[in-house]
Structure 1
Amino acid sequence: MDLKPILDHYDDFKAAQLQNRFFKHADVIRLLQELPAAFEMVHLGNSVKNNSINLVKWGKGKTKIMLWSQMHGDEATGTMALFDLFNFLQGDNEYVKLLTENCQLFFIPMVNPDGAAVFTRRNAQQIDINRDFLKECSPEAKILKQCRAQIQPDFGFNLHDQLTLWSVTKTLKPATLSFLAPAIDEELSIDQTRKNAMLVIAEMFKHLDPIIPKHIGLFDDEFEPRAFGDNFQKAGTATILIEAGGLAADFEKQEIRSYYFASILAGLHAIATKSFEQQDLNNYFSIPKNNKQIFHILIHQLMLDGIEVSIGINYEECPVADGYSTTKTYSIQDIGDLSFCDAYQIYTSAQLKVKGEIILYQNAHFELFDNDQLILSFQNGKLL
């Protein structure tokens, strides 16, 4: 499939109501209620704080595909991409016709509405829903688990966001997207279900890599016995994990969401046409791995205690009380030879001078000058 013409017209179907990561349950419900009759909405149950969790059904085909987003309340890119997909599916084109005739899609576009309300990872019980498959302490985990058991989908798309500090091996670029076919056991065995997920991912990578070259990685592959992706895979649903990472100057992930949407569409197309069956498993394993070789800020050529060093600075993002924004606290994360690393922002000059102290693992609290011109200023971890 050719994704470029679709992305060239992305604004035609982008859900413009979702302009940043901080939308809430009420926004989702409002958009769901506006969907036409081709989309059937089913109330699955309620969260800890009594917010509804809903299933959306679309399509008339044989192959069942389940897609769920925002198990973690502060991971909103997948939800944005799903609403963009809802709009796209209302169009008149070959892809929509192919999907409706060959697939039945089941969407849960916000599994953790309470976490989204305050923009935190966990639910109102402080439970990580994605580590609650076995004990089912949270109502959200019970709902998601029961939904899959009732539908028995052939494929599943597990939609998440990852830290913006993940990079792609041998590229020094942010991992804007990461894919994974979750493991079914500690030995990382490959049964037919997991193999199908791997082949779909290989097909997705084939179509996405030319669009965002060197920005796609393979997520860390280890078995997590409490996680939904691993257990859904084990239960026979070929499960595809998609993680949204970082991209320069795209803090609200409005460009990333388009690539996220494209990866979902490429995966659905691969399943509907069964083109994944022609893929080579080696193409999955050839996707470069994720690593951490980038910083939010890098400063090179800085004289510190009589030696020239590089300084790596990262921020920690925390939600404010109303859940509609975050604060960033910057700290010094490395000092020394960082020539093998990259960053979203880089400062380098032979005339760099610093006023204040730079202390490893402490909040950034200094001013950086280039030939007496102030170019960077931190106060108690805050970028001024």
Structure 2
Amino acid sequence: MKIDKILESYDSFRESGLEDRFFKHQDLMRILDRHSGDFNTELAGHSLEGREIRLLTVGTGPCKVFLWSQMHGDETTGTMALMDLLNFLKHQAGSPISTLLLSACTLYLLPMVNPDGAERFSRRNAQQIDINRDYLRAASAEAKVLKAMHEKIKPSFGFNLHDQSNLWGVKNSTYPAALSFLAPAFDEPGSLNDNRGQAIQVIACIKDSLLGMLPGKIGLFDDTFEPRAFGDNFQKAGTATILIEGGSIIGDRKFQEVRKMVFAAILAGLSAISSASYLQNTTDNYLSIPKNTKSLFHILICDVFFQGIRTSIGINYEPVPTSDGNSIECFYSIEDIGDLSTMNAYQVYQADKMQIYGDIVYDCPADFDLVHGTETILSFKQGILQSK
């Protein structure tokens, strides 16, 4: 299967009802209602604030595959990609890829596990609990739902869909990580058993399918065992669990290109599973994926004269959701000062002929002007970007 060829017609099945990252539960419900006549839909449970969490079942094949998204309410790319997948399966009904996938697999989709967090565009739920650290106690309503669905389905494979910070880069690359993958560990030593080995093989197939479209932009996430996390425990329970982290692409401000790549990664993984082609791939291929690394700033000011020396200044922002959950506000702080020649940024300013007016204090809010002659290039007031 040539993923790049399928993506040529992506706009024909892209879910147009989800246009940005700030969509809410009611937006998703309208889409799921539209699909109710085509795919089996059931109520999986409710969030703390009473919002429905629905499970969709697609296909009739013997291999059970569980796909869940938005455990963190502000990580929306996976939910978008799952809705694109539903449209693709309808759009491609009767095609060789759709027929193979749906005859070999039964897909169980649980989109928007954390609808209360989505309402606020918040990582955590209404009780301020990180659901992905609530497997053991399952104190939150949402963790109970996710855990119960996994126990009911008993899937052979699982796709754990997340978004990662846009400050993650790829080792030995100047790019941000557009996608990152992981076959989570199921114990402290990071042992390898059959199902984790299968997850590794599937990820290697996904990497092979997408690397030509994302050269230098695919990373491998840290595999430190987290005993409270769902992915690690599902791996432990016998489900070959594949973590997909949507990242960032420079210029893709609304994360729609990343969304397309997450869809492509899911489809490539499902294709490898349904055709059993993953069995031909290797652990070494998986381990060849470069590690994620923190090698990026949001803004990098290079070679500016400051406090008697030529130096560079790295600036990052902390995104804070607005009270209505429909946008974010960015609060900038000084992340680093010094030799930053090995780093990259979304915006780079070569400032050897510029001047700084104001205070530059490490680990404090940005509060200065960057000026070239009579022109103000950047202006910050107590962490708020005034102009650029």
Q: Which amino acid aligns with 1:289?
A: K
SS of match in other structure, 2:50: coil
Deviation readout 1:164-200 (Å, 9 max, x if unpaired): 0000000021011100000010000000010000000
Greater displacement, 1-10 / 232-241: 1-10
1:331 is matched with which residue?
A: 333
Distance 1:198 1:81 in 2: 21
**4+ residue segments displaced more than 4 Å:** none
SS of match in other structure, 1:117: helix
Distance 1:164 1:154 in 2: 31
Q: CA deviation at 1:252?
A: 2.2
Distance 1:53 1:337 in 2: 49
Deviation readout 1:205-255 (Å, 9 max, x if unpaired): 001111111111000110000000000000000000011112112232111
1:43 is matched with which residue?
A: 43
Distance 1:349 1:306 in 2: 15
1:235 is matched with which residue?
A: 237
1:206 is matched with which residue?
A: 208
Q: Which amino acid aligns with 1:193?
A: N
Asked if 1:120 is matched to 2:109, the reply is no
Distance 1:377 1:55 in 2: 48
Deviation readout 1:305-349 (Å, 9 max, x if unpaired): 110000000000010111111100011000000000001110004
Deviation readout 1:7-57 (Å, 9 max, x if unpaired): 122111111111111111111111000015331101011110000111000
1:32 is matched with which residue?
A: 32
Percent identity over the alignment is: 52
Distance 2:237 2:317 in 1: 39
Asked if 1:360 is matched to 2:362, the reply is yes
2:64 is matched with which residue?
A: 64
Asked if 1:111 is matched to 2:100, the reply is no
1:174 is matched with which residue?
A: 176
Q: Which amino acid aligns with 2:301?
A: I
2:82 is matched with which residue?
A: 82
SS of match in other structure, 2:137: coil
> Please, which runs of 5 or more residues in structure 2 have no aligned partner?
none
Whether the aligned pair in 2 keeps the contact of 1:301 and 1:352 (CA below 8 Å) is no
1:302 is matched with which residue?
A: 304
Distance 1:176 1:372 in 2: 38
Report matched runs for 1:155-174 at 5 Å.
155-174=157-176
1:377 is matched with which residue?
A: 379
1:277 is matched with which residue?
A: 279
Q: Which amino acid aligns with 2:206?
A: M
SS of match in other structure, 1:34: helix
Q: CA deviation at 1:97?
A: 1.2
Whether the aligned pair in 2 keeps the contact of 1:67 and 1:159 (CA below 8 Å) is yes
Q: Which amino acid aligns with 1:323?
A: G
Q: Which amino acid aligns with 1:6?
A: I
2:293 is matched with which residue?
A: 291
Distance 1:143 1:174 in 2: 34
Distance 2:358 2:51 in 1: 48
1:135 is matched with which residue?
A: 137
Of 248, 259, 262, the match for 2:261: 259
Distance 2:152 2:359 in 1: 59
2:96 is matched with which residue?
A: 94
Compute the RMSD of aligned alpha carbons.
0.9
Whether the aligned pair in 2 keeps the contact of 1:365 and 1:380 (CA below 8 Å) is yes
Distance 1:163 1:139, change over 3 A: same
Distance 1:271 1:141 in 2: 27
Distance 1:25 1:16 in 2: 16
SS of match in other structure, 1:195: helix
Distance 2:65 2:166 in 1: 28
SS of match in other structure, 2:106: strand
Distance 2:328 2:212 in 1: 33
Superposition TM-score, scaled by structure 1 size: 0.99
Superposition TM-score, scaled by structure 2 size: 0.98
Whether the aligned pair in 2 keeps the contact of 1:160 and 1:243 (CA below 8 Å) is yes
Distance 1:290 1:319 in 2: 26
Q: CA deviation at 1:4?
A: 1.1
Q: CA deviation at 1:350?
A: 2.5
1:13 is matched with which residue?
A: 13
Q: Which amino acid aligns with 2:173?
A: T
Whether the aligned pair in 1 keeps the contact of 2:305 and 2:352 (CA below 8 Å) is no
Distance 2:119 2:9 in 1: 31
> Please, which runs of 5 or more residues in structure 1 have no aligned partner?
none
Whether the aligned pair in 1 keeps the contact of 2:67 and 2:108 (CA below 8 Å) is yes
The number of aligned residues is: 384
Distance 1:319 1:248 in 2: 22
Distance 1:36 1:126, change over 3 A: closer
Q: Which amino acid aligns with 2:318?
A: E
